[in-house]
Amino acid sequence: MDTEQGKTFSLRDKYRMIETKKLEQLQAGNKELLKLVKLSYRNWLEDPDVAWRELGEQLGDGLCNSMGDGKFQEWLKKLKDA
């Protein structure tokens, strides 16, 4: 048993907490990915409410959130230098 802030947790409880946190992170990432795919598809359908600028900004934000700011900036620099 392990103690955290006066509460006692078994190893199994700690494992469940870690898995729950991972699942929540995956679900949040999936929501963002679904939002970006829908927006991209609407742009492809030539929806006048979705401009290339908006799509690009949303895709950039999604990539940055997924990759992390540092990795995104490195990747972006490699693209610009190519």
Over residues 54-58, mean pLDDT: 87
N-to-C CA span, the chain: 54
Over residues 23-45, mean pLDDT: 82
Cβ burial 8-29 (10 Å sphere, 16+ → b, else e): eeeeeeeeeeeeeeeeeeeeee
pTM greater than 0.85 (yes/no): no
Cβ–Cβ < 8 Å for 21, 30: no
pLDDT mean across residues, the chain:
83
| pLDDT value at residue 1 | 47
Give the pLDDT band of residue 74 (cuts 50, 70, 90): very high
